[in-house]
Amino acid sequence: MTIRKLKMISLLITYVIAVYIFFPNDAYGMHIMEGFLPFNWAAFWWLAMIPFVITGVRSIKKTVALHPSLKMLLGMAGAFAFVLSALKIPSVTGSSSHPTGVGLGTILFGPTAMTVLAMIVLVFQAVLLAHGGITTLGANTFSMGVVGPFVSYAIYKGAKKLGAPLWLSVFLAATIGNIMTYVTTAIQLGLAFPAATGGVMASTVKFLSIFAFTQVPLAISEGILTVMVINILSAY
């Protein structure tokens, strides 16, 4: 019995060390890398992304027609999101990781514009930093540019409606938005690679638990940081 327990503990430790080795200092969000999704799934997520991008393009066009300088603002906001994701944030577990800026962006620019911005930022991350990829752009945009922003937005509005203080609404929006992004990615991976026994569910659970170690602390860190930034901005 005790030997088994010892084995379990040592296994857990091995797992933690392994994650530290594989994610030394740059847990970049959780983008699916180039070529990782099979052709059919890559195409599926591209198609799934397109309607949201079109909606985003329409809404941006409408606002830009009214306020022409908004185009420059959005362009710089995209660049800002990229720069943000290239900076390390101190994570509550002591390691460091990179923020996504999804929560902050959604609160400032709304979820539809964020879809387009997220897609553009993901293209640049793929080409300039080799994080994510072109074939997996659809899947990554869907998790980071559709699910993340819309969940963040719904929670932000919902929490405010329920009378939550600003800091709480912002924290929940950023944290849960971030977590939902990672959950979506895990589901996408699970769908593409069902386990030999247990199928999609088993596979999704595997991915969820593997990435939880870096993603949950990251989500909380980003939540805290987003609250601090919004506080400074509203003091302006």
Partner 1 sequence: MPEIILEAAALDYSYPDGTNALHNINLQVKKGEKLTILGSNGAGKSTLFMQFNGLYHPSSGCIKYQGQAISYKTKALIELRKKVGIVFQDPDSQLFSSSVYQDVSFGPLNLGLSEQVVEARVKQALIDTETTDLEDKPTHLLSYGQKKRVSIAGVLAMEPEVIIFDEPTAGLDPRHAREFMHLVKNLSSEGKTIIISTHDVDLAYSWSDRLAIMSSGEIIAHGKPGELFLQPDLIERADLALPWLIEVHCGLVAKGWLPPSTPLPKSKEDLLMIIPHSPEHLTNCPIIP
Partner 2 sequence: MINIDSYAYSNNLKKIHPAEKSVFAVCTMTVCLTSPTVITPLIILTLMAGGIISKAGIPVRVFLKLMLIPLSFLLLSVLTIAFSISTNPSGFWISQTMYGFTIGIYYPDLITAIHLFLRSLGAVSCLYFLALTTPMTEIISILHKLKVPAIITELMMLVYRFIFVLMETAITIHRAQLSRSGYVSLKVSYRSLSRLFSALLGKVFVKSQELYNAMSARCYTGEIKVLTKKYPISLRNYILIAGLELPLILINLFNRV
Q: Which of 84, 98, 85, 80 is nearest to 25 (CA)?
A: 98
Task: Check residue 233 for interaction with partner 2 (CB under 8 A).
Answer: yes
The DSSP secondary-structure symbol of 130 reads: -
Q: Of the candidates 48, 55, 86, 110, which one interacts with partner 2 according to CB under 8 A? A: 86
CB of 101 to partner 1, least distance (A): 18
Query: Which parts of 26-85 interact with partner 1 (CB under 8 A)?
Result: 72
CB of 110 to partner 1, least distance (A): 24
CB of 47 to partner 2, least distance (A): 15
In whole angstroms, give the CA distance from residue 16 to residue 1: 23
C-beta of 7 vs 157, nearer to partner 2: 7
Q: Which of 27, 26, 41, 40 is nearest to 189 (CA)?
A: 41
Query: Which parts of 148-187 interact with partner 2 (CB under 8 A)?
Result: none
Are the C-beta atoms of residues 193 and 206 closer than 8 Å to each other? Answer: no
In whole angstroms, give the CA distance from residue 32 to residue 191: 13
Exposure string for 209-232, b = 16+ CB within 10 A, e = fewer: ebbbbbbbbbbbbbbbbbbebbee
Q: Of the candidates 80, 154, 166, 167, which one interacts with partner 2 according to CB under 8 A? A: 80
CB of 29 to partner 2, least distance (A): 10
C-alpha 208, offset from chain centre: 14
Task: Check residue 127 for interaction with partner 2 (CB under 8 A).
Answer: yes
Q: How many residues bind partner 1 (CB under 8 A)?
A: 4
C-beta of 47 vs 65, nearer to partner 2: 65
C-beta of 130 vs 157, nearer to partner 2: 130
In whole angstroms, give the CA distance from residue 206 to residue 212: 10
Task: Check residue 121 for interaction with partner 2 (CB under 8 A).
Answer: yes
Give the binding site for partner 1 (CB under 8 A). 72, 232, 235-236
